[in-house]
Structures are given as C-alpha cells and as structure tokens.
Structure 1
Amino acid sequence: MSAVIERETPQQAARRFSAGAIRDGFQPQALHCYTDESGDALFWRMRANNPATGEKWIRPMHLEGGEFVMGEPAFDEGKPIYRLHEIAGHPDAPVFVVEGEGCADALVKASLIATTSGGAGSAAAADWSPLAGRAITIWPDNDEPGQQYAVDVAERLRALGCTVRVIDVAALDLDPKGDAVDWLAVNPGATADDVLALPCLPCLPHQTAEPQTPRHVSRCMADIKSVPVRWLWPGRIARGKLTIVAGMPGLGKSQITASMASVVTSGGLWPVDRSRAGSGSVIFLTAEDDAADTLRPRLEAAGAVLTRVYVLDAVRAADREGRPFERGFDLTRDLDALADLIDTIGDVRLVVIDPITAYLGATDSHRNAEVRAVLAPLAALAAKYDVAVVAVSHLNKSGGADALSRVTGSLAFVAAARAAFIVAKDPADPDRRLFLPVKNNIGPDGDGLAYRIEAATVGDIHTSQVAWGSERVTMTAGAALAAIESRGSERGEDDAPQRGEAEAWLRDALAAGAVASKELKHLARADSVAWRTIERAKKALGVMARKHGFGDEARWSWELPADEDRHTDKDRHRTPPTPDDVAAFAESEATSPFVERVSAKAATAQGLGGLRGDDGGLRGCTADEYAKARGAF
C-alpha cells in the first residue's frame, strides 16, 4: 500500500521560504492570498518586517506542479488585484482601493469591499479591468508616494469608466505615512457608513479640476527642435540615458566602473580613442563592495579625484512614531532621495548602481511589467538631470550565443537601456577580458575593448585596477560567449567561479532544512543556475539525498550534512524567546501545526532558538507555541 504524502500548506511553505529572513531579525506579519474571480488561489505574498530597523521583507510564492515555488506565475494581462473574488461577488458595491494588502484587510473587517495592487509603485503592473464602471474610493497613505499612487490608480480607473473619489487624508488628522489601518485603530467603533462618509478631495492631488474624459498630450514634430546626443563616453555611454554593463562574477565589472569614475572626476582621457571627458562628480550605489576596504582603494589606484566621488549608503526615514532610522536604498520608492543628492552635489555626470538587482525592493526581476515600472522613472531621472546611469548586472548561465538574453532577469533591463555591454573572458587568452557592445540604440555599432586586471598597492592596501588595451576588438559578444561555452563543454567542466556560486546558492537554499529536489530545480531555473553545476555543488558539499514514499508517490529531498554549519554568529548569540514572548503572539493567525511537539534542537535549527523553561534552561515546545512564536507564518 502506498504511503500518503501530506501536502505542504501555504503557511508551512512561507515559514520555509522566510527562514533566512527570520534568522536576520525579521518577524512574520502576514500571508496574503491573491485569488481569481472564482476564489481559487493564484499566488501568495509573504510579508515580514524588522522591528529594529523598520525594513520590510516581501516575497511572492505560488504553486507549480503541486509544489510551492518562489515568485509569481506569469499573467498575460497584468497582475490580478487583491481580493478579486469579493469584488466579483458584490458587483454593485462601492470598492475601496488602498496601498497595501493590510489596509485592504482592515477595511474588509469593517464590512467594506477593498482591494489593492500592492505597494505605491505597483499600479502600472496591475490589471484593473475587473473594476470597470464601478464606484471607487481611493484611500492613499499620508505621504507623497501615497498621493502619487492615488493619481496613478485614478488615471487608470477613469479610463475604464469608473467614478473615482479620493479621501482627503489631510483632514483625518493622521500622522505622516498614516493609512487606513492607523485611522481604524484610533476609531475602533467606526462602521462602514462612517468610512463611506469620510471627506474626499474636490480633485486629485497635484491636479486641477478637469473633465474626467482622458485628454491627449501631444506635440507636432515640426515644433520639436533636434538636439544631438550628449555623450559621457563618446559613442558608448550617453548622458541622460541608462546603460547596462553585465558579466559573470570575477571579471572586473566593478573595476571598470572605478576606471570610468577616474576618467570622469579627473576630466581624463577615455581608453583607445583618447577623447577627453567633461569633468564632474560620480555617485556610487554599491551593494556588494565595501566602500572602505574595496571601493576606495580601487578608486585611488585608478586615479579618481576622491572629493568628487560620493557613496549613497542609505536613506533616512521615520517610523510611524516619527523616530528616525536608516534603511537601504530602494529604486521603487527612493528616487527622490537620489535626485536630492544630485541636486546637492550640483555637477554629477555619472551614477553607478552595482548591482541594480540589489535595489529593486519587492520587484520581481523576472517580470517585464514590474521591471519596466521601476526603470522608466529611473530613465526619466537620468534625462532630467542629464546624468549617465550605469547599471551593473550579472549574466545567467542559460547558454547560447544570444548575448541579449544572457543578462540576468527580465529582458526589460536591456530593453530600457539605450546601450548595453557584456564583460567576458577572451576565449584565446584566459588573462584578458573583453568589454563588448551588445546594443546601442543611439550611437554607431562600435567595436569592443580589451583589458586586464592588474594588482595594485595603495599604501599598505592591496587592490586591483583595469589596464585597458590599446587596440579595438572586433569580436562580437555573441561569438565570445559561444566560444567560452564551447571550450567549457569540451573540457567537461564549469569555471571555478560558477562552481563557487552554485555551492553558495545551494548552501543558502538548504539553510532552513530539507527541500524537495523538484523545488530546487524550479528555484535554480528561476535564478538561471545550471542544474549540472548544482549537482556538482551537491557532491562538493556532501549534500544528502533522501527518498520519501514509494512507487509513483515517491519523492526526493536534499539536505545539508549534519556537520554543516547552518547558522551565523548572529544566530548563535540570539536571545531565545521566553514564554512571555510566545504569549505575545496569542492573537496571531498562524496555521494549525502539522506536528505535535518540537524539540529544543529542532526549534533552534528552525531559527526559533528554543524556549526557556522555569529553570532557565532550553526546553522543547508544543506545536502551538512553535507556530505562535514564529508569527503570521
């Protein structure tokens, strides 16, 4: 008789996916389910926050082949809006549109119909058509992104024939960034009629009262004055435009940006063609290289003028109580902060974002619509301030000679850029690197360049720098990548950097415990990591494969060996929660546990850290305590 395999619940999957974030201090807040009009689940959005820093952790997941995987499924007409089944089930009811699932849930508890597309920058990627012709009230957050979200949503809904009102949040006496949840918290007895009676604006924020019929904005071409492209690096990188530089790790992409910064800040000469750069300042957003021990030494070695180089480390914000804190820069909501820095410096010519995928917030980098929604405002900022924005990215390992498709993530990255370059090894010389164009919409189809990475010393610090070759390279990016892949295939081996990346990827994927091998394949495919490289990493790490069940229902899982260190020093020194901590979660909506009891060792391995008994020692915990202490997941 075949064994019965219990399916993983959404809550269990969310706990597994969020294990790393929880170990880093994040606390689960909610698991939001997006449905179709019939109420069938389409995907879930996990949400957690870090009470110490105010940071948010938001990730989607969905079912694929009967198993939960990270990411959203593909939607041809845009992402569905939240609580779609309730909208369809009440066709005559007014609908509230808010910013964020939590606000929608709060209004639903007040017996109203409410929805959202997600965060403040999500309106463009959503499918609003189910609201066509409906009466809509938009309740924005009490901040500038909230007001802009109201404008973005209202424009789309009015085009669908909706009647749109916008609540006047300034009249609600809310704190900065206050939202519907905050208002309901101070008005606990408010009814649906009370909410419907809230004051509304006579017109949209930042707009004058106009007819609701959409009006065109156009210009006659005869009235448009032709202007030449303004170049930072003539023929290669333009001012006022977005440029992508992509390549595998370890090939010197960051050293190239340091070399660019040297030329710009010193008004020096560009490689090979020896044209002189107009001097100016440079801003770096760098998530992978430390400014003190890596970036500055490289800049010094390259000869950059350090007084003209700035690093955007973080954004200073305030929590709901007005207490200041710093958080990481996010392209989806912090472009005003970047614009303010550009204004403050005054002569910025170049902005380097390295890598761009580290600054996308909750954006799914594989979704074209979401990536376009992030890059379009960034391109507009580049044009407004006449600065060149160089975004560094990685290459996926999918293979093939189509260089454009090798840039990690959505093709929207390359589509939005006016120029794109690939960094690759020279197939004929393993110590030589190539800087090759794959796209240039505004300049000639130029040749590539060659360079080597040379050791350098700054004081007593060892670093590296780019040494550009003196001749142009005529090999195309596609030919270079195909030749490199062919050589690797003939040798039957991957490059060492790829193996190291795969080992780090696999160790991270298995950090929370055993994972189904089928799910690992889905995750590897999403991250463009070759499965053959993962299998080599499995052997190198001593990963154990276990079989569960028999016959057609059998499945395999992978897990790290028992002696593999799964915890950071921060995990080992975290103070375990007390029974009082557990009680604080008594009101959480955690799912019913699927085990009866969790040992102290197992609880510690899952990031809970164990519980303290009356004698102060570690003890196990019941499944109820375990689920509650883990929070909303």
Structure 2
Amino acid sequence: MQTRPAVQLDPRAIAAALGGTARGNQISAPAPGHSKRDRSLRVLLDPTAPEGFIVHPLAGEDPIEMRDYVRTRAGLPDWEPEHAAKPQPTAHLRLVKKAEPPKAFSDWHLTSRGFSHVATYDYTSADGEVLFEVLRYEHPTQPKSFLQRRPDGDGGYLSGRGEPLLYRLHELATNTDDPVFAVEGEKDADRLASLGYLATTVPNGSWPEDLTALSGRKVYVLADNDAAGDKKAKTALQNLQGIAVVARIDLPGLPPKGDVSDWLDAGHTVEELESICSSAPPIAANDNDPLPAAPLSIFEWPVSRFVGEPPAVDYLVDGVIPLGVPGMVSAMGDTGKSFALLELHRRVAFGQGTFAPDVFGGKVTAIGTSVMITSEDDAGEVHRRISALDAKAERFGPAGQKMIVVPLPSAGGARAFWRDDKKKGLIETDDFLRICDQLRTINDLRLVTFDPLASFAHLALNEDPAAGQFVCTSLSRLATETGATVLVAHHMRKTQKPIENLGDARDAIRGSTALVDGLRLAYAMWPADEARAKRVCKSLGQEYVANKVVLGGVVKANGPAKRMVSTLVRNEFGLLIDRTSGIGAAAPAQDDLLGALIVAVEAAAASGHPFTRTGATGLYAMRDRLPTELRDVSRHRLEGLAATAIESGRIQLCLATGTTAKWLDVPGGQFAIGLGEFRKGAAR
C-alpha cells in the first residue's frame, strides 16, 4: 500500500488564523457566522490524516465545508483529488458509494403504521416561491413525526430539502419594522401569525447562514418548557448574536413541555405576552460591537398599563439600600469601606442573626449569592479579612459557595471594565462583558461590588460628565439584568473643614456630579471630628484613638431611604461596627433630622395623608408615622424643625380645604401645586 506522507502543521498558527485557541494539537475556534467567543469548531492536527488535520463541527455544520473553511483561513494548499492516494484493491477496504439520485417523496412508512398527515408548512423564498415543505404527522399513541419534501418541477415532490430557510420568510421580507417571535416549531409560528404578529422558526432546528431578514431587528426567542426547548432557545440566541437585538422569553406559568400555543390556550392574553416581551432585557452581545437599539414607541407606555397595586420596594439592607439598583459606597482613604463591604457580602451570603448590629444603617434582608471583585487586596489580605469575619468557619459549609471574592492582584492583575477607545469612543471592555455573562448565570445573585471604581474605569471621571453617565448606565443595565444590587467603591476628597452633615458628605465625593446623579443610591463614610469621636468612645467606655469612629449615611437616593447618620466604631480587627443605637453623644445632628423630616413630609403628602405642623394631624400627634430618628424628638423641637424648613422654603404650607394654608408639602409636590387629593383609609 502507498504510504501517505506526514503533514506537520503549527497548532498556534492554525489557531491564530481561525481566531481560536490551541491546547497541544487540539484547536477550539468559532464556527463560521458565530460569535468570537464561540468554540463549536474543533480541529485536531494529525500528521497522518489527509492534509494533516481532522475537523469536528459541534454545531451541525457540514464537515466538508468546514475543511474548506479551515483550509482557506489557514492559507493551506487547495485539495487536489488527483494527488490523493488511491486505495489498493484489498478485501478489507470499503468502496466509496456514489451519490444516490434523488428519490420521489413517499410517506407510506408512516401512513401504513397509522400516522395521519395533519399539516403542511411551506418554506418560501423572500419572493414567496415555495422551495420546500415540512409535513406534520400525528399518531393516536406515538410521538408526532415530520417529513420534508421539495417540488420536482413536474408537479410532484422529491424527498428532503435544500438549504435551510427561515419559516415565513416572505412575511419577514415584506414587513421589516415589527418585532419577530422566534419559536421552536411551525405550529407556534402559525398561531402567532394568526394573531397578527411576525413569527418564524427553522426546519428541524437547522439555522440558515443567511439571516439578513432578521438583521438589526428586535427578536423575542420564546422557549418551550423542557430540556429540548432550552437547548433550542440557546442555539437561537447564539445564532442571532451580533445580528439582531434578541431577548429570551420564558413564559410564566408554562406547563412542563408546554409552548406558547399551550400558554395562550390556558387563557393568557396577547396583552400579557406583549407586556412580558417589552420588559425583557436584551441578551448582551458576545462581541464588543453594540447591537442596534430597538426603536422606541411612546404609544407602548400609556399609564393604563400600570394595573393593580404598585410593587413594593425590595431592599438589600432594610430601609437603606434597595435591591436591584446601581449604587456607590464612597469614603475617604483609610476609612475601612472595603472591610465593611466585605462584611456586607458575608451577611448576604451567610445570613445574619436576629441581634446582629446594623450594617450600612440597617438589617440585611436579601440572602443569596454575592460577588466582590477587588483590585486592591491580594489573596493573602482577603484570606486574613475573611478569617477575622468568619469566626465560626461558615465558609467551609454550603454557604461558602455563595460568597465569591475575586482578588485581582492574585488573579492575573487589575483590568479595565470601561475605557475610551480612539475609534469607538466610550466602551465596555471584553473583560467586563465576560464578567456580566457569568453574573447573569447566577439565579440567586443579590450583590455585586467593584472595588474601587477608579481601578476599573479608565476614563476621565473627574472631568467628563459623559464618562460618569456612561459608567452609571452600564451599572444600571447590569443591575436590571441580574436583579442584584451593584455597588462601586469610590473615594471622597479631603475637606478643609470637618463634614457636619449628609449634604457636606455628598459634596465631598470625587468626580463630576454626573457620577452621583446617575446612580440610584450613594452611601458616604467619613471620620468623625475629634470632639465627637471622643464623646462616642467615652459613652462606650473605650479608649479613644484617631480614626476609631466613623460616620456614615445615605447622601443620595432615588426612593425612600433612611436619611440619618450612623455611628460606626472599629473593633479589634478594624471592622466598623454600627453603634448608633444608645449612643447619646452620637445623636443625629440638626441637619440630619431636618433632612429626615423633609423626606417624611414629602412621602406623607404623596400618599394623600399630609401632615400639618400642629394639631390632631400635626407632626407630633402623628409621630408614629415618622422615621425612627424623629419619633423620640420632643414636641417643641419637632415643631421647631418644621418652622426652620418652612422658613428656608424646603417645606411649604399649602391650601387644600377651607381658607387656611396648613397642609405640609415640599415645593413641586401635589399639594404644593394645588392638585393634591386626600385618600381614604389609614396612612402608611
């Protein structure tokens, strides 16, 4: 027998040509038309194989086409049949079969066994010409079956089909504006089309290379509720990456093995379907090129869509840090914010006891997985801090898998998540997009922290408002997609005079105002002045040392939040412990109480149960409706605070009934502009 000459190929060179990676003589690379991170094309370099390599397409591509693709990308010589070694006529070698001629279509093998032909689905060109058909067969006791056939040009049919196509392609080509539903089967596509929607699928799960009809469009992938449906939905998302703005939809209440037709048959409405789809976040592209934005329709947002009771605010830290929002924890250097954040992560992952002191001004109420990525502390420092926090060694139990701390100095070094590209402008980097992809796979994710922001944002945050807004928008999208609170640790600048209230603390946060304004929450921490710190230490019976006492509080919130200053005292490990309760020397300052009063007045008026300054509906008489820090304030001081707020214009006396302006509201509130309405029922 003639021996085939060995072909030696360089795995690194082949991997680079294919945009993949090499491990030994095995190469993993993206298949044609797939994203840069796809690894569904495997190439094995074998000197004894024809041309020196063997291909393994894992996504269903034709192996011969994939050989041509590898040969072309790697710059290898074209395959020449006459150079191929001819097999010798030995008995143990099989002869190569010739291509069989096309067969006439027949469904006798199904109908003879009791199957009935129940539906025919035409696959047409963009011009409406039928190129092949999919036929559906059902049986009383056996699973459904499908056959494919194509016209033979003489009025009959041949078995099989040509290249795959998008189902209902003619309609997609005719209407290029409406969103498209991608479903698992033709039956569901026809059901949605009968309701006036654009819908498509692919024959037998085979996606065509030409997806021009979906380019730049909004596509909702409706997943069936079984393992096969999940797999096909993931395949659809993979094929549509970088082509369309795609969102996966898992319909609520879908029975096992159910599809959208079953969901509609159960009584769900198209209005529900539209609402679910319109609120679904798009799947982030694997590539760094942004997907085209879906067109905005103002007519999709009439107030009539907001039906029933509004959703309650869910908190990560009760009354302080909401769940599922982007926020910031800002502090001066050497304050201890990183250690405090680590303790917050521990409580989210491990839970906390009933009598545990507050953290960041409240009790942790959301338990689940937490992820902290720090670019300042190495593995050794994280180990020391975790050991100090986890005295009961809970990290070695199941809860230890719920708390993830990534020390970048020990994990390949710091890296940029946001930067300014000379060609593309402000971008999210591939590193950030990979992290986001991983975070979205965590079902019970509750908290994500990047510490500190400056290490991850290689942008001019201090000078450029656009840079700050870009980062905030990125964090907001991540919080929305994961449902987790996403915090960044940030720095405050040193001030010439001590910080006296929450307003001073907010002004001391570094960066343009766009950075704070663009986030839903900002929590600040700063050292107490020496006199206040000594009073706190004395009341606790502890020795005063510099930087032992730290103050903290919410300096910006887009919703209800406790506007009070917490007093934090370092323990023997350097962890800040909330000692606000019972420390008379650390009672809230005047400005903090005033801020809390204004928030309470605003909330009461918005609820239709406004306060008056005095009387039966006055602040003191109704003090059980006030925040905790105001309930123990004397009547004289409480009414004095209201007078101060009225004099400064931060609270207004409003006319609602009668001729006396007595109802309290903030400027611009409903009662302040004359539109306030009193609501029946108990005030909340």
Q: TM-score range by the shorter chain?
A: 0.3 to 0.5
| TM-score, normalising length: structure 1 | 0.38
Determine which structure has the larger strand proportion and give its number: 1
Larger radius of gyration, structure 1 or 2?
2
